[in-house]
Amino acid sequence: MGVKKLSQGVKNEGNGSNDNVFASCSFSSLGLDSNLCEQLHERLGFEVPTLVQAQAIPVILSGRHALVNAATGTGKTAAYLAPIVHLLQGYENRIQRSDGTFALVLVPTRELCLQVYEILQKLLHRFHWIVPGYVMGGENRSKEKARLRKGISILIATPGRLLDHLKNTTSFLHSNLRWIIFDEADRILELGFGKDIEEILDLLGSRKTAHDDQKNTVPRNSKIQRQNLLLSATLNEKVNHLAKISLDNPVMVGLDGKKIEQISTAVSNDHSESDEDNEDQYSSKMPTVGDYKVPVQLIQRYMKVPCGSRLPILLSIIKHLFEREPSQKVVVFFSTCDAVDFHYSLLSEFQFSSYPQTEGIRQKFLGCKIFRLHGSMVQEDRRTSFQTFKTEKSALLLSSDVSARGLDFPKVRCIIQYDSPGEATEYVHRVGRTARLGEKGESLLFLQPVEIDYLQDLEKHGVSLTEYPVLKVLDSFPLQKNYTKKSVFLDSHPWVLSLQKALEAFIMSKPEVDKLAKKAFCSWVRAYTAHRGELKRIFMIKKLHLGHVAKSFALKQQPSLVGQSFQKQAKKRKIFERKTGVSKKRKVGSVTERRP
């Protein structure tokens, strides 16, 4: 079969400088309309294409299906939006709103939906007859229906809401649909949207075996009626089924030879069997282990931190980062929404006399602006956090994995993974929120001593980390009067001990934060037990001392006390599962997000 690898007209990958990011050609040399090239320059500030854009744009212009794999922050969004806008503006008969939707971009989260929409708006500035729009969970359905009725030429959507409109909004016209794009394809599937996606493809007549029936506007330079694109920084076995059912003879952009061979075999598989029958056979042929592309200039480090000292060390590291460079942005990832809420309250309010001379004077421990973002927040708060953190020059964002994919927060200098991410793909996307487009960035991964084998798991994917000098950072903080000696052990370091004591006292004095801490503890334990596959061996709840886990939420109570509410929840869950037959236990990462 004709799967093709593309690497034309671009510079070879270099060593972390701009050579590694940008191509040596212009947007117009790739065949894009001159007005569009001006928009790319004037509205988005793009002077030359990135490497992935230089590779993908000609492929997409040619009408071929494509699977695009490039590191985080390398410009994949414009790589698919620009050629689509080019092709649409070039239709002989100008498209009209009443023609309905021509291109559909599916994204895993609401924030990514808004982000892609904003970029699209800028690209379309001079092409007012091409209408951008979005539909996503959390928005007003009737308003969306009205917009769909008027007509949206390029529609960005989250899968659940799109499916809803496909089934229930009769005025949603998609008979002219020519492009379906899956941005962050693997994440869409990981979030459990696999069945929705299949249904969407069926409803749109875009399963590989089906033929679309476009009749109206036919593009000038192309005979191809439907063109599907899959993009992600981590294309792995999860995408195989989607690639198989949605891509026809695709061009692979940015994949190495071995992966191309594996994916080619899978994509060209015999389709006479049912999908279910094919799935196992198919999975075994897809790459399960391979190198992920992490920005080369990213400094990746880990910290081995005993469970009971995690919280004071997290606070110390954040304080240190902002004291070292007051004007910067930092993102901290947690495994659950409850953990985000608890740490947000704690970090926003916690006061501490950190220096001996200020002992007794209450002042905020962290002086920076703090934001939170997770899938269980009210939509309006979610939108505000996302937009505000984006524009801030100096701020801290506490987030669940809802921010891990695709979000482009300018100038984030450091990513802290306080709770480990689970699969290596998620590690790669989380750290990908920094070091974007050749910029500097660093990442810190917290690991407990019993979790240290996780480093080997990352190694298998070509990701290596060095150790962060955490003791040196702790030593840089002043000791209070009653502590004199420093320690070589993190958990007996006087700074850590005094901070932990202060944190516990703070929680005791704040019943509402104490409540959040208990809730966060329960969710954390639940998320920890939800690790799957190989990772189960590394992240074993049995290996942890629950008393130390409680300490990491500044809780003094014995785990059994906290555990009672956990047991109650577990009991409730079991009853729910017995009644409904639906398991609430999902993989870590998605266990936390009620509304991705």
Residue with Cβ nearer ligand ATP (49 or 312) = 49
In whole angstroms, the minimum distance from the beta carbon of 478 to ligand ATP comes to 39
Q: Distance (Å, rounded) from C-alpha 311 to C-alpha 343?
A: 9
In whole angstroms, the minimum distance from the beta carbon of 209 to ligand ATP comes to 30
Residue with Cβ nearer ligand ATP (389 or 477) = 389
In whole angstroms, the minimum distance from the beta carbon of 386 to ligand ATP comes to 14
Query: Which spans of this chain sit near ligand ATP (rule: CB under 6 A)?
Result: 44, 46, 49-50, 53, 70, 72-78, 233, 406, 408, 432, 436-437
In whole angstroms, the minimum distance from the beta carbon of 471 to ligand ATP comes to 33
Burial environment of residue 365 by CB neighbours within 10 A (0 to 12, 13 to 18, 19 or more): buried
Those residues whose C-beta lies under 8 Å from the C-beta of residue 505, and which sit 6 or more positions away, are: none
Residue with Cβ nearer ligand ATP (411 or 548) = 411
Asked whether the beta carbons of 483 and 494 are under 8 A apart, the reply is yes
Q: Nearest residue to ligand ATP, using CB?
A: 75
Amino acid identity, position 535: L
Name residue 399's beta-bridge partners: 333, 373
In whole angstroms, the minimum distance from the beta carbon of 116 to ligand ATP comes to 9
Q: Distance (Å, rounded) from C-alpha 48 to C-alpha 507?
A: 52
Beta sheet of 370-373, edge-to-edge order: 370-373, 395-399, 329-333, 412-417, 441-447, 298-304, 466-467
Residue carrying structure tokens 């050609």: 25
CA distances from 307 to 448, 490, 550, 557, 590 (A): 6, 10, 9, 16, 23
In a 13 Å sphere around the CA of 471, the CA atoms on its Cβ side amount to 11
Residue with Cβ nearer ligand ATP (407 or 490) = 407
In whole angstroms, the minimum distance from the beta carbon of 11 to ligand ATP comes to 13
In whole angstroms, the minimum distance from the beta carbon of 49 to ligand ATP comes to 5
Residue with Cβ nearer ligand ATP (115 or 262) = 115
In whole angstroms, the minimum distance from the beta carbon of 152 to ligand ATP comes to 21
Residue with Cβ nearer ligand ATP (231 or 513) = 231
Amino acid identity, position 208: K
Helix, strand, coil share of the chain (percent; to 5): 45, 10, 40
Residue with Cβ nearer ligand ATP (159 or 432) = 432
Name residue 415's beta-bridge partners: 331, 443
Three-state helix/strand/coil letters over 96-136: CHHHCCCEEEECCCHHHHHHHHHHHHHHCCCCCCCCEEEEC
Is 326 in a helix, a strand, or coil? coil
Pure H helices in 204-336:
240-246, 257-267, 275-285, 310-324
Residue with Cβ nearer ligand ATP (424 or 496) = 424
In whole angstroms, the minimum distance from the beta carbon of 356 to ligand ATP comes to 44
Amino acid identity, position 285: K
What is the CA 157 to chain-centroid distance, rounded?
16
Residue with Cβ nearer ligand ATP (53 or 236) = 53
Residue 420 is classified by DSSP as -
Residue with Cβ nearer ligand ATP (100 or 406) = 406
Those residues whose C-beta lies under 8 Å from the C-beta of residue 184, and which sit 6 or more positions away, are: 107, 108, 112, 231, 232, 405, 406
Is 567 in a helix, a strand, or coil? helix
Residue with Cβ nearer ligand ATP (356 or 410) = 410
In whole angstroms, the minimum distance from the beta carbon of 487 to ligand ATP comes to 40
Amino acid identity, position 94: R
In whole angstroms, the minimum distance from the beta carbon of 231 to ligand ATP comes to 7
Q: Distance (Å, rounded) from C-alpha 335 to C-alpha 522?
A: 12
In whole angstroms, the minimum distance from the beta carbon of 22 to ligand ATP comes to 7
Residue with Cβ nearer ligand ATP (41 or 167) = 41
Residue with Cβ nearer ligand ATP (43 or 208) = 43
Residue with Cβ nearer ligand ATP (41 or 143) = 41
Asked whether the beta carbons of 296 and 20 are under 8 A apart, the reply is yes
Residue 366 is classified by DSSP as -
CA distances from 327 to 218, 264, 272, 394, 408 (A): 51, 47, 59, 5, 18
Q: Distance (Å, rounded) from C-alpha 153 to C-alpha 174?
A: 9
In whole angstroms, the minimum distance from the beta carbon of 234 to ligand ATP comes to 9
In whole angstroms, the minimum distance from the beta carbon of 441 to ligand ATP comes to 12
Residue with Cβ nearer ligand ATP (119 or 522) = 119
In whole angstroms, the minimum distance from the beta carbon of 405 to ligand ATP comes to 7
For helices 34-42 and 76-89, give the axis angle rounded to 10 degrees: 140
